[in-house]
Chain A
Amino acid sequence: DIVMTQAPLSSPVTLGQPASISCRSSQSLVHSDGNTYLSWLQQRPGQPPRLLIYKISNRFSGVPDRFSGSGAGTDFTLKISRVEAEDVGVYYCMQSTQFLRTFGQGTKVEIK
């Protein structure tokens, strides 16, 4: 199985300041079809997960442009350009390149 490792696991951020989360996979996430199925999800307290970014850098419908994704191969990053109060929650990277999908441990973003 592919292991997804996130860092940091906790990220206290000042409102209006940027935040960055790293995700590393134990093997390449490039699929045989040429796509890299690395997604980022947000889970607000008491809510189901919500898709933010798919295929490394594509923002899902309705996601603010302060969220951006980057990376390639085995190293990926989610950036929030200016953190807002509504961004508090846990962020997960996940791979769906292999049928056995796997998630990172989650990174808790909170306001300082």
Chain B
Amino acid sequence: NAGVTQTPKFRILKIGQSMTLQCTQDMNHNYMYWYRQDPGMGLKLIYYSVGAGITDKGEVPNGYNVSRSTTEDFPLRLELAAPSQTSVYFCASSPAGLNYEQYFGPGTRLTVT
């Protein structure tokens, strides 16, 4: 199993550009999550999904959109990139069950200039 994979690893965007961060998991997990991590600020939840076709906002959803058409894939869309979206983005997944342990992908480092 590859676990949770993310592409790209690094990206530089200009202000106002758009892009999609890809996330795929091969563990057949129902739940998937997108976080951003800023220095000293911990992980903040952007969006999450409890299954194909079902998504919901987290703490910091503004400026982002998601979709979940399959169990495996959970892409994050940035529209009209802003410098405030410079961050490291992590995708995670967890199985359904009592405790929801989350497993993280390797991350995407995004810079908006």
On whether the two chains bind one another, the answer is no
Q: Interface of A with B (CB < 8 Å)? A: none
